[in-house]
Structure 1
Amino acid sequence: MSKLLFGLPETPVVPVRGKDTGYPVGRIFCVGRNYAAHAAEMGNEVDREAPFYFTKAAANAVLTDAVVPYPPGTENFHYEMELAVALGAHVFRASPDAARASVYGYCCALDMTRRDLQILERQKQRPWDLGKDLENGTVLAPLMPAQEWGGPSDQRIWLEVNGEIRQQATLSEMIWSVTDIICHLSGFYHLRPGDLILTGTPAGVGAVQSGDRIRGGIDGLPAVGLELAAAE
């Protein structure tokens, strides 16, 4: 084979708590409107017939506590705190038992969003890519192996900006459970190890500015953080 003309950015490898191995991220799927209160605050109704999804490039993800610049092209940059599910097995058209068995672990994640661009594209009935799939737009905390965590059930999920609580709910408020999501999504994709699924955000999303510090958590999982570099 001929030599490559150039190298591609490396995708993140997420540390696994208590282990000396890392979890390489392949694909990132995100569930939209999975908390009724968040859907309502965005002026949307929940589709209770089936979950829906968008994707984010793994190459645009960063690990927790990164310091990143305020992104270009937006004046309304939002945080969204989420539970991420890391798959460790191949599943296709999964049964509930197979879906549960396919989970390797869980982590806290931030789905950062250029909200003004997302809304603009939505109003024009166009894809959300400019709003959602941005550089440094997914932030990942270390993974907790599934067998070492007691969730997901009714654990508290929260987020603060500069020490002030902005989001607070419980995972039991998710409309579609992790098992539901894997069963449904595996009807459209051959899911595999390295696939991450972000399961939606609760109410309380809002804008951040240069210099802000974001921190979020879920009971029993390592917290996730992001700092927006001060404006030059």
Structure 2
Amino acid sequence: MSGKKPDAGAPAVQARGLARTFPSPDGGFIPVLRGIDLAVAAGDSVAIVGPSGSGKSTLLHLLGALDRPTRGDVWLGGEKVSELGQERLAELRNGFVGFVFQFHHLMRDFTALENVMLPRLIAGSPREEAADRAAALLEQVGLADRASHRPRRLSGGEQQRVAVARALANAPPLVLADEPSGNLDAEATLRLHDLLFEMIDRHGAALVVVTHSRELAGRAARVLRLEGGELFVV
């Protein structure tokens, strides 16, 4: 990743007074988040739980600079998101933040190796270096023998493991995971949870995970509940 380096002493992600409203059909506004404060340091893990529709995914999108708040601010590595241009924002999203979604969002015409290579190629790494990094990550997630397989030839659990490897391709200081095991069976779910925390520990990243899984939430250092647009310590 080129450009300014994030402040190593700053939290991986910080939010102050974060609010988000959406237009309602009657011409008014629906408040989803109401003044969220949150700071997550390197090596910290936070699980966010709460009822469906409470705004958990909305919060994650704001923390990852995929959406803009109605009010309040987000800092990524000490950089204030609202003050950044589109080029720098794109750099941060690709190099500073690793995303794992409920649906893996793999490129269906690319192999597992090529999918994991993408973030590094976007960041400008040479193709050989990106391939070496991707191969190492696929080995770490137990998929070295599936590197040449396209998503349709992988199970749901294998696809999510590829997605975790892709999220870590640029060694991001922050990983955001949105219901990462929501579509997996019980065995694949436990395997993915083991993998996610093993990889976070190994790479020293901060983790914020949105989940309905009590088992996954219980592994985090902190559990916060989002309800009524506000965060509460569980």
TM-score range relative to shorter protein:
under 0.3
The answer to which structure has the higher helix fraction is: 2
The two structures have a TM-score, normalised by structure 2, of 0.26
